[in-house]
Structures are given as C-alpha cells and as structure tokens.
Chain A
Amino acid sequence: MIVILLFIPLIGLSAYMVTFLTLYFIFLSMAEMWNFLAGYGGFFSLGQGAFVGLAGYMLGILTDFGCPTYAALIISSSVSAAFAAVVSKPLFRVKGVYFSVGSLALTEMMRIFFTSWRPPWASPVTWGGAGIPIKAAAYITRIEIYYVALILALISILVVKIALNSKIGLNVIAICDDEDAALSCGMPTFRYKLFLLVICAFFTGLAGATFYLYQGYIEPVSGFGVNWTLIPLMATIIGGLRSVEGPIFGAFISTILYLQLVRYLGLSLILQGVIVILFVFLAPKGLRGLFDKLKKGSGG
C-alpha cells in the first residue's frame, strides 16, 4: 500500500487527486495526533488551531528571511512544541473541561495577537487581518509537498503506534483513566502529560506548516480558526476514539467535505457541526463501534 502511494504521483495521476491525497495526509496526521491527545490521553483539546496557526506564521516569517524550506518546516513546528510546553502549566492546572475551554481561549488569544501585532520589519500591506504570504510556496512543487505530507502522515501513525506500545503510552492511558491513582503510584504524571502535549503540538504544527506551504498564504482568522479542531475531531469521531485505524477512514471523509465545500466555508462548517452532533448521538464510538456492535450482533 505504502509503495503504491510512493509511486502515485509518478504514474501521472490528475492534479486533483494529488491535491486530494496531500490534504488527506495532512488531515490524517492532525487527526492521529488529536486522537492520541484526546482519545488516549483524555485531553479534549479544542485549540489545535493555536499550533497550526503558530507554525504557519513561523514558516512564513522564516522563509521570508531566507531560511531553507525544510529547515523552516522543522523549526516552525518546534516553535509550536515549545509554545505547548510554555502553556502547559496553566492548561494542566485544573482538570477536565477547563483544559478544553482553556485551549480554545488560547487559540482566540493567538488570533487576536496576530491580528493586532505588526512586526517592525513588515511591509504596510501585510500582517494584521490581511495575513502574510509564504514565500517558500513559490519554489516548491506540488509533488514535493505530496511526499512531505505522505512522510508526515506515516511518521505520525508510527509515532502514535510506538508510543502506545511503549511504557509512555501505557502511562498516558493510566493517567487518562485515573490520574490520582497514577499519581499515588509514584508516576510523574505532569511529565507524561507535558510529553503528550508537546508531541501532539509538534506534529500538528508540522501538519499545519505543510498545509500553509501548500496554500501559500496565512491570515489569522482561518489560521487560528476552529476548523483546525473540527477537522481532526470529526475524523476521529467518525472513525472512533481510541483507535489508531479510526482516523485513517475518518480523515478521508474530512478531506472530501473540505475539498467539495472549500468555496462555501460557512456551509462546510455547518455540515461538519451537524455530522459531529449526529455521531455523538447515534454512534458515540464511531464507525468502529458500530462495526463491533454488528459483529457481536451476528455472532451472538
């Protein structure tokens, strides 16, 4: 399967399909990370936009100063990860819903910051609400971005799989199930939570930066928008929380919705909201849960 994906652009697939797959890999990576954070860690972040937007802006700034594209990708996602480490203290202070709403508030704060702030070197027509162009996008081909996205998605899945099979993953799940019990067993819970958030921020940031490399410009309203939470959230809810395979299917639907309705962003967001509500009410365990139920039903 992976080998086929590697050669797909070479066999002359239509530009639309390459775009579709590129976006699919980007969304898949975001969804895997959100699933890791929310499904396994129990931290329902609603502020993925903060990591995406920050990495996108850093990519724009770095390539503006002549930083090579691939180095800029890594540095900008590292900035996202560092940012996550800084804000982990207030976010993890209070448990439960505070984290969700706090992360959403954080995204709003970043949006206002990038709407109001104008760096001294900026030209008067950019920054503010207008956003900035990303220079590197002009020098990179679509095929190159396709490979970046493919590798990103593969690494994301691999990282989640390896982490879940290691001691770290087990500890994260233990914290999700009962943090007080984990703490009383002598587990340094804060360190694991920090690790989880930083990993998630790094790869979400990398996915975001790749997206903006493809898009070519970034502005604060969409960069720090709620759609960066809704896309991975919907992909995970459709596929099923707490399963590495779930988002692989869910992200597919996210991408179709995104590409078909890209011109009607309002309508697309309404539809995404409706889908999320339907899944919460009818199949809270996602398609995987439905599938399991069907199998159980026919077996017994």
Chain B
Amino acid sequence: MKLIEAVVYGSLLGGAYAVIGIGMSLTLGVMEVMNIAHGEIILLSSYLAYQLLLLLGMDPLLSAIPLSLFLLTLGFFLQKYCLSRALKYSVEMFVITTLAISTILENVYLLIWSPMQKALITGYLLWSCEVGGIKVPFVFLLDFFVSIAVLVTLREFLKKTYLGMAIRASSEDWKIAQLMGINTDNIRALTLGLAFLTAGIAGVLIGLTYPFSPSIGKSYMVIAFGIVVLGGLGSMIGTFIGGLIIGLVQVLTATFFDPAWQLFASYLVIFIILALRPKGVLGR
C-alpha cells in the first residue's frame, strides 16, 4: 500500500518536474547553452505570484497567465539585447553571465523576501480525492495535468506552426536556416522566451506544491539539468520520463529511507546516469 502510494505521488510530482526541465531542454536543444539562472526565473514567478496573492488576493492559477506572458517578454528581450552579446563571444561566456545573473537574483530575493520560507496558500490546497483507498491531493493532480498540457501544447507548437518549424530548423543548422531567410537572432530570443514562459508556469505549480525560499533556485536548476541528462535532448517524452524518474526517486527515498536524503538520492541518480548513459535513458 505504502509502495503504491509512493509511486502515485512520485509520478504526479514528476509531472511538475517535467515543466521545470522542459525550459532547460529547449535552450540546450536549440541554443546549445544552459541557463544557470533557470531556477531563479522559476522562483521569480513563485515570488511574484506570492506577491500578487498577498496584495490583490489574486489566485495563483489566474496570475500564472500574466506572469508567464511577462516572463516570455523578459526572456525575449534579455536574449535579444543582452545575452546575445555573450553568446556571440562564446558558449562559456553565456554560462558565466547566467551564473552571475542567478547569483544576483538569489541575493536580491534574499533582500526583498528574507530567507524565510514562503508558500502560496489557497483554498484548494487542502482538497483531495480518494482513488482506490489512496488519498491524492488536488495540487498533485493539478501539477500532473497542467504539465501534460504544457508539454503537448509546446510539442504541437514546435511541430505545426511556422515559428515552431523555424525553431526546429534553426536547431538543426543555424547557417542554413539563416540562408533560408530565418531571422536566427529572433529565433534564439524566442527560444529563451519560451523557456522563461514554461519556467513561469513551473514556478506557480511548484509554489503551490512546496514552500520556497531564495536558496532553492539552485536545486530547481540541478533538477532541470538532471531531467535533460535522464531524458536526453529534443523529445517531450524523454523530458516527461526524466521528470518521472526524479519524482519517483525522491518520493521513494523519502518514504522508505529518510526525507532529508531525497534530493541527494535524485542527484546521485543523475550522476550515475551521466556516467553510464550520457545520452539519456532513451538515448541512442
């Protein structure tokens, strides 16, 4: 019984982790860089949702929409006018710049919101439904289904729309895409914008599920990195499976060993997979 419960919780939580990872997978797949500040962007969305809830009483699920649109614009302009200069110099400079951004953001959050944990507390936080004797919190179901919706929408966007096809074409070959008349600078900016958008959704979901504090952004970033490592690049299914593995490892460790070690266990799995199968569990 305990095992079934842990597996159900882990899989549902894994859904939310998939949304954390998809932004990282997108930037790595298309731009061949990783945004170290990814976790802090997720936190930005959590904190802004918290502030909106506190000041205007706005429901976090409602504020997720303007927040993710705001982050989309932020990501677009950040890449277009700022990070593109670092990327032009080298990939490593991009990584260093985002590390600096992540450090700045973390310490700004510390100054504004203090190191104390904050949480998005809403009326439906305590709702739950019972399926076959297992009590499933509503928030976990929300995490799971919203994340599936995000992954499916993103996949369709990349497959069906003109912009999506331009992104995929550019990720194959920048030079040729440019010759075909694609504005690759804008495509890069759009990619980071989309990654920020998913981070915005992830921030609200994770904020509803767990309390958050300024220092937790690094853990989100490592989880996102882990999902990319586990799932391999460029597939939504891989990302989803990566999220599931991390969710399962965490909940199983917490249930059968010790909750203090749950993050450590998932990090360990990331490194074992990196050593054994660097192209991911599904990788060729």
Task: Show the binding face of A for B, using Cβ within 8 Å.
Answer: 38, 42, 44, 46, 87, 89-91, 93-94, 96-98, 100-102, 104-106, 108-109, 112-113, 116, 221, 226, 229-230, 233, 237, 266-267, 269-270, 272-274, 276-277, 280-281, 284
Whole-angstrom distance between the Cβ of B81 and the nearest chain A Cβ = 11
A276 & B219 in contact (Cβ 8 Å cutoff): no
A-B CB proximity, top 6 nearest: A90-B275, A273-B100, A273-B104, A90-B274, A93-B278, A109-B267
Contacts of A44 in B (CB 8 A): 92, 95-96
Any chain A CB within 8 A of the CB of B85?
Answer: yes
**24 A-B contact pairs sorted by A residue (CB < 8 Å):** A46-B36, A90-B272, A91-B274, A93-B278, A98-B229, A98-B278, A101-B221, A102-B271, A104-B36, A104-B218, A104-B221, A105-B270, A106-B271, A109-B222, A109-B271, A112-B264, A116-B261, A116-B264, A230-B99, A233-B96, A273-B107, A274-B104, A277-B100, A281-B82
Q: How far is the CA of A100 from the CA of B91 in the complex (A)?
A: 11
B218 & A280 in contact (Cβ 8 Å cutoff): no
B103 & A226 in contact (Cβ 8 Å cutoff): yes
Q: How far is the CA of A269 from the CA of B218 in the complex (A)?
A: 15
Q: How far is the CA of A233 from the CA of B103 in the complex (A)?
A: 13
A277 & B97 in contact (Cβ 8 Å cutoff): yes
Whole-angstrom distance between the Cβ of A158 and the nearest chain B Cβ = 27
Whole-angstrom distance between the Cβ of A211 and the nearest chain B Cβ = 19
Task: Show the binding face of B for A, using Cβ within 8 Å.
Answer: 28, 32-34, 36, 82, 85-86, 89, 91-93, 95-97, 99-101, 103-104, 106-108, 110-111, 215, 218-219, 221-222, 225-226, 229, 258, 260-261, 263-264, 267-268, 270-272, 274-275, 278
Q: How far is the CA of A277 from the CA of B97 in the complex (A)?
A: 6
Contacting residue for A46 out of B95, B107, B226, CB 8 A: B95
Q: A116-B264, A266-B111 are in contact. Are A38 and B92 (CB under 8 A)?
A: yes
Contacts of B221 in A (CB 8 A): 101, 104
Q: A89-B275, A105-B267 are in contact. Are A273 and B96 (CB under 8 A)?
A: no
B92 & A100 in contact (Cβ 8 Å cutoff): yes
Q: How far is the CA of A91 from the CA of B99 in the complex (A)?
A: 19
Contacts of A226 in B (CB 8 A): 99, 103, 218
A108 & B219 in contact (Cβ 8 Å cutoff): yes
Whole-angstrom distance between the Cβ of A125 and the nearest chain B Cβ = 18
Which residue of chain A is the closest to B267 with respect to CB atoms? A109
A contact patch SS: helix
Which residue of chain A is the closest to B104 with respect to CB atoms? A273
Which residue of chain A is the closest to B109 with respect to CB atoms? A266
Beyond A105-B267, A270-B108, A273-B103, 14 additional pairs, beta carbon < 8 A: A90-B271, A97-B32, A97-B91, A101-B34, A101-B225, A102-B274, A108-B219, A109-B268, A230-B103, A233-B99, A269-B103, A270-B107, A273-B101, A280-B100
B274 & A94 in contact (Cβ 8 Å cutoff): yes
Q: How far is the CA of A277 from the CA of B110 in the complex (A)?
A: 20
Whole-angstrom distance between the Cβ of B193 and the nearest chain A Cβ = 20
Q: A226-B99, A229-B99, A277-B97 are in contact. Are A104 and B222 (CB under 8 A)?
A: yes
Q: How far is the CA of A101 from the CA of B25 in the complex (A)?
A: 13
Contacting residue for A96 out of B82, B91, B267, B270, CB 8 A: B91
Contacts of A233 in B (CB 8 A): 96, 99
Contacts of B111 in A (CB 8 A): 266
Whole-angstrom distance between the Cβ of B226 and the nearest chain A Cβ = 7
Looking at B100, B103, B219, the one whose CB has the most chain A CB atoms below 10 A away is: B100
A105 & B275 in contact (Cβ 8 Å cutoff): no
Which residue of chain B is the closest to A284 with respect to CB atoms? B89
Q: A93-B275, A267-B107 are in contact. Are A277 and B32 (CB under 8 A)?
A: no
Contacting residue for A280 out of B96, B258, B267, B274, CB 8 A: B96
Contacts of B86 in A (CB 8 A): 280-281
Contacts of A91 in B (CB 8 A): 274
Whole-angstrom distance between the Cβ of A166 and the nearest chain B Cβ = 25
Q: A267-B107, A270-B107, A281-B86 are in contact. Are A102 and B225 (CB under 8 A)?
A: yes
Q: How far is the CA of A100 from the CA of B225 in the complex (A)?
A: 11
Which residue of chain B is the closest to A266 with respect to CB atoms? B107
Q: How far is the CA of A266 from the CA of B267 in the complex (A)?
A: 27
Whole-angstrom distance between the Cβ of B73 and the nearest chain A Cβ = 20
Whole-angstrom distance between the Cβ of B26 and the nearest chain A Cβ = 14
A97 & B226 in contact (Cβ 8 Å cutoff): no
Whole-angstrom distance between the Cβ of B215 and the nearest chain A Cβ = 8
A46 & B264 in contact (Cβ 8 Å cutoff): no
Q: How far is the CA of A269 from the CA of B111 in the complex (A)?
A: 12
Whole-angstrom distance between the Cβ of A291 and the nearest chain B Cβ = 18
Contacts of A100 in B (CB 8 A): 34, 92, 95
B104 & A270 in contact (Cβ 8 Å cutoff): yes
Q: How far is the CA of A229 from the CA of B95 in the complex (A)?
A: 13
Whole-angstrom distance between the Cβ of B256 and the nearest chain A Cβ = 16
Q: How far is the CA of A72 from the CA of B162 in the complex (A)?
A: 63
B222 & A105 in contact (Cβ 8 Å cutoff): yes
Contacts of B82 in A (CB 8 A): 281
